[in-house]
DNA sequence: TCAGCGCATGTTTTT
DNA sequence: CATGCGCTGA
């Protein structure tokens, strides 16, 4: 492939970025400007034109999905496998380094990764040990304290307590937690980064080795880096390793979890003289949508500055719908989706974006009513589900007896009569002897410290694990998983759970076996081992839904929409207090992050964007009135077109007297009539709005109080 | 040990 | 409103 053919398909800014000779290159890539394309082409260019070996290239992303996509596209472009290239997430790469250099990093060879769920459990245990009052010291907060300090690169000794008892206590928890992790050979996510940073810090010869090896570093979504990731990159890049960073300060929406938008601004100061290339030509959206996005984001300060443009068509104006309440809003969305589907769009080409997950419910109901298949993103991912974690904990314990987190999780799951008292005894022994709980259990059994019943159960449990360990030797991964799930009694345990929850859980356990099979098929030799699978499960929590995608309308938060695009987008709940969130109201930095979120949302739309807000919305059980979001006002006026309700809505403030003819004659719902609703029970019609199928009735229910219902969907029965 | 009750709680999410 | 958690009683 010649250089010309490589850059042929690129615009001039893209080509400039791809072929830059600068050692420090910052590519400011606006939404939809071909960011990944540039990254991938630059890698190809480095290999083909600069004769770099794939082996000497490091490409870092934030999510596994992005890493996988990058690898795929490199292989497609270069028509060659990319196996020798290091492409991965920060955490994935840090993990890889630590596995390779566990000795230098002072880790046990079989160290385990602690996910946030396990981490919280451990923090709770430690706080209980210290007899901290959970209402005064919420474990979640302590966990956040630990993680945010680690993200900042801080160990307990580095943190100033300001003489503050609150701070002192949290530092103490951090310290104890860290000791517990060390004892059990466990690393949490932040620790992976911190450790690998310290590894290089303390082992200069290792750092030098990697600085020699990597001839180019590329980083995606740089605006999302936190302090430790920044320091890690700075250390690896040193003075001489060329580095390309790609990012968009306008799309920085993760400040609340440690991402520092400043990093992209200070890059030039810290890494050295930097060439900046702006990608502003957008290939995704209509001019109308881009103008709206530009108009909104222009209200932020301190931007590096970009103006998206397109050579494509103007497109339709953005439709703005002022809904009466959240139910009406959902009804509007469903109705417009139906229209779009009738025009031949596929469901998966349509997305509904909202600020918070709680908003999905009403929308979901509207989709159900309209029989529109949908998929909600969010919630627990596959490897995070309780039943999956239970099964994995058995596997973890089998390959690593010291894993206290796993031990705690399954010692009484399914319940085998080991209560808190017995466990407390084991924990105490473990603490006194400074040994893992497994060993403590043996001691406790030896000393016959438990009741006969509990002692017998514990003995059986230990025996089961030992037995499985024997049995699993020589078996393949999926056979191991199958055997453990069967022998553990987890299937029966979850089957007995009430509701249809249990059924789904059993399904998931079966799915886990398929996942191990797939893992076996993809990896080869040692990489398909149980230990490797456990790492995989911890580092890559999997998808939200196990089964593959039907053609569905996509529903998700604005945050999870980042990086995606859809021909039609609905942004709902665009109201003051909701979006921007009330919690960001008094802080300008956070308000600007909300605005960036609006920018992200708008730029997801390719052809058509709908924005809606509700005048009244039920939040936490009570009705709240919200003004339209400031972000709506910030959209240039000519980009917006107000939608009036399909059936003209009039607000009958009073019932007209004397002229019965004014009242809708085509609706059976007359004032004062008694009706019955399948859910709300009996009630009386108090008001009526509009005509035809979209008319709304106000019903005062005896049991449920006053409700507004859309006649078409209300399923009201006249009494 | 487990079900049932009362109470607090309630952005955004990846690894 | 709805969920999830901890605590209580059987």
- Segment A307-314 mean pLDDT: 95
Q: Please identify which residue in the block is written with the tokens 């490409």.
A: A59
Chain C nucleotides near the protein (CB, 7 A): 1-2, 6-7
Q: Is the pLDDT of residue A544 over 90?
A: no
Distance of alpha carbon A258 from alpha carbon A150, whole angstroms: 10
Is A104 one of the annotated active-site residues of the chain?
no
Label residue A12 by pLDDT band (50, 70, 90). very high
Whether residue A372 contacts residue A361, with contact meaning beta carbons closer than 8 Å, is answered with no
Label residue A492 by pLDDT band (50, 70, 90). confident
- Segment A18-32 mean pLDDT: 96
Is A220 one of the annotated active-site residues of the chain?
yes
Label residue A66 by pLDDT band (50, 70, 90). very high
| pLDDT score of A455 | 85
- DSSP states of A322-345 as a string? EEEEHHHHHHHHHHHHHHHHHTT-
Is A36 one of the annotated active-site residues of the chain?
yes
pLDDT > 90 fraction of chain A, expressed in percent and rounded: 62
Task: Map out the domains of chain A with their CATH numbers.
Answer: 3-101+193-279 (3.40.50.300), 112-184 (1.10.10.160), 289-381+545-643 (3.40.50.300), 384-533 (1.10.486.10), 650-719 (2.40.10)
Rounded CA–C1' distance between A145 and B8, in angstroms? 22
**Range in A116-125, A243-252, A475-484, A500-509 the model is least confident about:** A500-509
| pLDDT score of A712 | 54
| pLDDT score of A379 | 81
For residue A619, give the nucleotide whose C1' atom is nearest its CA.
Answer: C1
Can you read off the two tokens belonging to residue A249? 């300060």
3-class SS of residue A624: strand
- Segment A558-568 mean pLDDT: 96
Distance of alpha carbon A41 from alpha carbon A703, whole angstroms: 64
Label residue A424 by pLDDT band (50, 70, 90). confident
Nucleic strand B under 7 Å from the C-beta of A418: yes
| CA nearest to A322, candidates A50, A645, A57 | A645
Q: Please identify which residue in the block is written with the tokens 């507004």.
A: A708
| pLDDT score of A2 | 53
| pLDDT score of A289 | 97
Distance of alpha carbon A677 from alpha carbon A633, whole angstroms: 39
3-class SS of residue A284: coil
| pLDDT score of A550 | 81
| pLDDT score of A660 | 32
- DSSP states of A433-493 as a string? HT--HHHHHHHHHHTT-S-HHHHHHHHHHHHHHHHHHHHHTT--HHHHHHHHHHHHTHHHH
3-class SS of residue A165: helix
Q: What residues pair up with A243 in beta bridges, in sequence order?
A: A24, A217
3-class SS of residue A604: coil
Q: Is the pLDDT of residue A260 over 80?
A: yes
Q: Between A238 and A454, whose confidence is greater?
A: A238
| pLDDT score of A703 | 56
Catalytic member of A251, A286, A429, A480? A251
| pLDDT score of A474 | 86
> What CA dihedral angle connects A254, A255, A258 and A262, to 10 degrees?
120
Residue A381: Cβ-neighbour burial (10 angstroms; 0-12, 13-18, 19+): middle
Q: Is the pLDDT of residue A403 over 60?
A: yes
CA atoms within 13 A on the CB side of A168: 4
- Parallel, antiparallel, or unpaired: how do β-strands A696-701 and A705-710 relate? antiparallel
Can you read off the two tokens belonging to residue A11? 């615009």
Label residue A546 by pLDDT band (50, 70, 90). low
Looking at every residue in chain A, the average pLDDT score rounds to 88
* pTM for the whole structure: 0.85
Is A221 one of the annotated active-site residues of the chain?
yes
Is A516 one of the annotated active-site residues of the chain?
no
Task: State the DSSP code for A628.
Answer: B
- Segment A500-526 mean pLDDT: 83
- What's the gap between Cα A421 and its chain centre? 37
From the C1' of B12, which residue's alpha carbon is nearest?
Answer: A559
Q: Between A342 and A184, whose confidence is greater?
A: A342
For residue A587, give the nucleotide whose C1' atom is nearest its CA.
Answer: B11
**Per-residue pLDDT tens for A577-610?**
999 999 888 899 999 999 999 999 999 999 999 9
Q: Is the dihedral of CA A39, A41, A43, A49 positive or negative?
A: negative
| pLDDT score of A693 | 43
Helical H runs in A343-381? 360-369
Whether residue A280 contacts residue A250, with contact meaning beta carbons closer than 8 Å, is answered with no
Distance of alpha carbon A647 from alpha carbon A663, whole angstroms: 15
Rounded CA–C1' distance between A620 and C2, in angstroms? 9
| pLDDT score of A672 | 55
Is A583 one of the annotated active-site residues of the chain?
no
| pLDDT score of A525 | 63
φ/ψ of A402, rounded to 5, equals -80, -5
Contacts of A620 (CB under 8 A, 6+ apart): none
From the C1' of B11, which residue's alpha carbon is nearest?
Answer: A356
Q: Between A41 and A703, whose confidence is greater?
A: A41
**Helix, strand, coil percentages for chain A (3-state, nearest 5):** 50, 15, 35
Please state whether A529 falls in left (phi above 0), alpha (psi between -120 and 50) or beta: beta
Catalytic member of A118, A188, A220, A404? A220
Q: Please identify which residue in the block is written with the tokens 């009242």.
A: A663
Q: Is the pLDDT of residue A363 over 80?
A: yes
| Strand B proximal residues, A:610-629, Cβ < 7 Å | 620-621
| pLDDT score of A203 | 96
- What's the gap between Cα A696 and its chain centre? 37
- What's the gap between Cα A259 and its chain centre? 14
Q: Centre a 10 Å sphere on the Cβ of residue A216 and count the other Cβ atoms it contains.
A: 21
Q: Is the pLDDT of residue A648 over 60?
A: no
Q: Is the pLDDT of residue A670 over 60?
A: no
Residue A397's alpha-carbon distances to A164, A184, A531, in angstroms, are 40, 12, 11
| pLDDT score of A653 | 34
- Segment A652-670 mean pLDDT: 38
Task: State the DSSP code for A644.
Answer: P
Rounded CA–C1' distance between A481 and B4, in angstroms? 36
**Range in A230-244, A372-386, A399-413, A692-706 the model is least confident about:** A692-706
Residue A595's alpha-carbon distances to A557, A559, A633, in angstroms, are 15, 12, 12
- Segment A215-239 mean pLDDT: 97
CA atoms within 13 A on the CB side of A595: 25
| pLDDT score of A692 | 43
| pLDDT score of A137 | 83
């Amino acid at each position: 492939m010649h250089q010309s053919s490589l850059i042929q398909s690129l615009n001039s800014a893209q080509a400039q970025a791809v072929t830059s000779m600068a050692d420090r290159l910052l590519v400011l890539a606006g939404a939809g400007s071909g960011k990944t394309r540039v990254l991938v082409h630059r890698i190809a260019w480095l290999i083909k034109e600069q004769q770099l070996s794939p082996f000497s290239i490091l490409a870092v992303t934030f999510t596994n999905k992005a890493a996988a996509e990058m690898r795929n596209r490199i292989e497609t472009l270069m028509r060659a496998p990319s196996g020798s290239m290091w492409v991965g997430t920060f955490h994935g790469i840090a993990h890889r380094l630590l596995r390779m250099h566990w000795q230098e990093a002072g880790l046990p060879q079989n160290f385990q990764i602690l996910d946030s769920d396990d981490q919280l459990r451990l923090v709770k245990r430690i706080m209980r040990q210290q007899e901290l009052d959970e209402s005064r010291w919420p474990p979640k907060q302590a966990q956040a304290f630990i993680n945010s300090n680690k993200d900042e690169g801080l160990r307990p000794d580095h943190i100033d307590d300001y003489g503050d008892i609150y701070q002192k206590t949290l530092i103490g928890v951090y310290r104890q937690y860290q000791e517990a992790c060390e004892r059990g050979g466990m690393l949490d996510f932040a620790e992976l980064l911190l450790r690998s940073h310290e590894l290089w810090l303390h082992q200069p010869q290792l750092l030098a080795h990697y600085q020699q090896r990597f001839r180019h570093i590329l980083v995606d979504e740089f605006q999302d880096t936190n302090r430790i990731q920044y320091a890690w990159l700075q250390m690896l890049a040193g003075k001489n390793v060329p580095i390309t960073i790609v990012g968009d300060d306008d799309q920085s929406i993760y400040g609340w979890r440690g991402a520092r938008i400043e990093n992209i601004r200070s890059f030039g100061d810290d890494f050295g003289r930097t060439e900046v290339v702006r990608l502003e030509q957008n290939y995704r959206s209509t001019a109308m949508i881009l103008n709206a996005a530009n108009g909104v984001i222009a209200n932020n300060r301190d931007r590096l500055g970009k103006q998206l443009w397109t050579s494509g068509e103007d497109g339709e104006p953005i439709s703005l719908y002022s809904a009466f309440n959240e139910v009406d809003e959902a009804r509007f969305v469903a109705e417009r989706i139906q229209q779009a589907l009738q025009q031949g769009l596929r469901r998966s080409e349509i997305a509904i974006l909202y600020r918070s997950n709680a908003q999905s419910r009403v929308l979901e109901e509207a989709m159900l009513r309209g029989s529109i298949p949908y998929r909600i993103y969010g919630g627990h991912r596959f490897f995070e589900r309780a039943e999956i974690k239970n099964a994995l904990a058995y596997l973890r314990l089998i390959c690593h007896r010291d894993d206290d987190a796993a031990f705690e999780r399954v010692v009484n799951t399914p319940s085998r009569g080991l209560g808190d008292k017995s466990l407390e005894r084991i924990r105490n022994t473990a603490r006194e002897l400074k040994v893992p709980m497994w060993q403590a259990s043996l001691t406790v059994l030896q000393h016959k410290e438990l009741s006969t019943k509990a002692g017998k159960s514990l003995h059986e449990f230990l025996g089961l694990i030992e037995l499985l360990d024997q049995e699993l030797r020589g078996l393949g991964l999926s056979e191991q998983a199958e055997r453990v799930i069967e022998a553990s009694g987890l299937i029966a345990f979850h089957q007995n759970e009430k509701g249809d929850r249990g059924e789904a859980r059993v399904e998931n356990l079966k799915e886990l076996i398929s996942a191990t099979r797939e893992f076996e098929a993809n990896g080869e030799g040692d990489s398909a081992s149980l230990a490797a699978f456990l790492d995989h499960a911890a580092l890559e929590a999997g998808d939200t839904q196990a089964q593959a995608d039907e053609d569905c309308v996509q529903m998700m938060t604005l945050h999870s929409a980042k990086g995606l695009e859809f021909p039609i987008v609905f942004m709902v709940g665009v109201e003051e207090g909701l979006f921007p969130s009330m919690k960001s109201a008094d802080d300008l930095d956070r308000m600007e992050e909300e605005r960036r979120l609006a920018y992200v949302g708008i730029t997801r739309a390719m052809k058509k964007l709908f924005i809606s807000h509700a005048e009244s919305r039920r939040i936490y059980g009570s009705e709240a009135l919200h003004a339209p979001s400031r972000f709506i006002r910030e959209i240039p006026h000519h980009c917006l077109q107000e939608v009036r309700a399909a059936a003209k809505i009039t607000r009958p403030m009073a019932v007209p007297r004397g002229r019965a003819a004014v009242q809708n004659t085509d609706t059976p719902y007359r004032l004062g009539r008694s009706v019955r609703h399948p859910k709300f029970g009996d009630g009386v019609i108090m008001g009526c709005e509009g005509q035809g199928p979209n008319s709304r009735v106000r019903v005062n229910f005896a049991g449920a109080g006053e409700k507004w219902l859309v006649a078409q969907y209300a399923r009201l029965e006249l009494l």
